[in-house]
Amino acid sequence: MTKRVGMEVSIAVAEAVKLADVDVVAVYPITPQTHVVEHIADLVVDGELDAEYIPVESEHSALSACLGSAATGARTFTATASQGLELMQETLYVASGMRLPIVMVVANRAVSAPLSIWGDHSDVMTVRDSGWIQIFNENGQEMVDNTICAFRIAENQQVLLPVMVHMDGFNLSHVIEPILLPDEEQVKAFLPTNNYPLPLHPSKPVAMGDFAPPFIFTEARWAHEEALRNSKRTIVEVWDVFAKEFGRQYKPVESYRTEGAKTLLLTMGSFSETAMTAVDKIREEGLSVGLIRLRLWRPFPFEELREALQGIDTLIVLDRALSTGGPGGPVASEVRAALYSQNPRPQIVSFVGGLGGRDITVENFETIIKRGMEIAKSGSDKEFQMFGVRE
């Protein structure tokens, strides 16, 4: 029976991994994801999860161990954050290029220097081109649900790609929330047995990740690109099945109070819920404003985004990462690219804020929205607006 419990989100994620009945967990601790893998260790030691738990000497080694376990057909999980994700860079590309269905939770955190253990999206933006499916979440319930969904997506034989499940460090990872933990039998029925089609085995040798000379490398990259783009179909199907079984629906692009709105704010991650309150307050003032949230970061939801933005005049994009020396926020840049061929297309106003754990309050979001509307009318000599910086 499904039960509602008050639980730290990181602990709830570990419980979701248990419900998925993983075979191998290879990990290295780093703030703010450590509570996830600490609790998984407790579950293994207490006999609640029958899995091989591999504590390694670095994040690079953690994902390297995952490569081997996933290649044998074992259901495989890991987790990391920030500098740990950067240390995995080399193996991130190996995992996706070899089509290994690994699931990894990333507790998003600022990248040094200066050293920060607090949350923003600078870590994930450095690996956006690593070929992984990437899903953003706003609260603990979404983290539980999408951790479970991630295994079904990754292991689908039409997909066979690794999946990152993102949660904001501290703002989400260390918060206690009421969460519906699915029933074990429900999850078992929803999540098929992993049946990896080309497992490594001594009795049937296969070659994986071979050397690719120039005459084949481009074709290999294009095959990977097509696989990642085509995975969106399966992702949506899995979310639809999950909605039927568990009653909670997820979509690549999700809307809040967009009816009749000519100005929309676009966000990703846990700050979206704060932004909803700001939208409510501005609506009470008589301004027609709504919110768009990107849940699916990779593959990028071009069609869904274009459809969601039809008929609007202004799109205000809040990034929690800075494309240093570039046009500002990486999400805003990609949204501009996605809408470039559209006619008419909304005016896009880019804000960067919430870096290194800096809070953005309801009042701050009201300011961002109203300032964005002013810029849309009068223009600005800046490529983007740095919100909240003390000059």
pLDDT tens digits, residue range 169-210?
999 999 999 999 999 999 999 999 999 998 999 998 888 888
Q: How far is CA 105 from CA 129, 224, 247, in A?
A: 17, 22, 23
Residue 222 lies in a domain: yes
Average pLDDT over residues 199-227: 93
143 shares its domain with 40:
yes
- pLDDT at residue 108 above 90? yes
Q: Considering the chain, what is the average pLDDT of its residues? A: 97
Residue 325: how many other CB atoms lie within 10 Å: 5
Q: C-alpha angle 13/18/22, rounded to 5°? A: 110
Check whether residue 83 and residue 112 sit in a common domain.
Answer: yes
Domain match, 114 and 260 both? no
What's the rounded mean pLDDT across residues 156-175? 98
Nearest-angstrom CA–CA distance, 239 and 91: 28
How many C-beta atoms surround the C-beta of residue 389 within 10 A? 10
Domain presence at residue 391 = no
Domain boundary among 216, 246, 276: 246
Range of the domain at 218: 3-246
pLDDT band at 2 (very low <50, low <70, confident <90, very high): confident
Average pLDDT on 310-339 reads 96
Q: Tell me the CATH number at 226.
A: 3.40.50.970
Q: Alpha-carbon distance 293 to 273, whole Å?
A: 10
Q: Out of 203, 227, 246, pick the residue that ends a domain.
A: 246
**Is the residue at 349 inside a domain?**
yes
C-alpha closest to that of 120 among 322, 361, 317? 322
Mean pLDDT of 249-268: 98
pLDDT given at position 174? 98
Query: Do 216 and 259 fall into the same domain?
Result: no
How many domains does the chain divide into? 2
Other residues' Cβ atoms within 10 Å of the Cβ of residue 312: 19
Q: Does 162 lie in the same domain as 21?
A: yes
**Most distant pair of Cα atoms in the chain: their distance:** 70
Residue 277 lies in a domain: yes
Place of tokens 């039927």: 244
Of 228, 246, 264, which closes a domain? 246
Instruction: Give the CATH number of the domain where residue 368 resides.
Output: 3.40.50.920
Are 191 and 278 contained in the same domain?
A: no
Query: Between helices 140-155 and 9-19, what is the axis angle to 10°?
Result: 30
pLDDT, one tens digit per residue, over 284-310 is 999 999 999 999 999 999 999 999 999
- 3-state secondary structure (DSSP) of residue 308: helix
Tell me, what's the pLDDT at 1?
A: 65
What average pLDDT score do residues 111-116 get? Answer: 96
For residues 160 and 262, membership in a common domain is answered with no
For residue 261, being part of any structural domain is answered with yes
In terms of domains, do 84 and 45 share one?
yes
The verdict on 235 and 263 lying in the same domain is: no
Q: What pLDDT does residue 391 have?
A: 77
Is residue 338, in this structure, part of any structural domain at all?
A: yes
Inform me whether the pLDDT recorded for 246 exceeds 90: yes
pLDDT band at 3 (very low <50, low <70, confident <90, very high): confident
Q: Are 152 and 177 part of one and the same domain? A: yes
Q: Are residues 236 and 363 in the same domain?
A: no
Residues 362, 279 share a domain: yes
Q: What is the mean pLDDT of residues 50-79?
A: 98
* Through-space distance between the first and last CA atoms of the chain, rounded to whole angstroms: 55
290, burial (CB in 10 Å: exposed 0-12, middle 13-18, buried 19+): buried
44-51 average pLDDT score: 98
- The pTM is what? 0.97
Helices (H), the chain: 9-19, 34-45, 59-71, 82-87, 89-97, 122-125, 140-155, 184-190, 214-246, 271-284, 302-308, 330-339, 362-378
166 located within any domain = yes
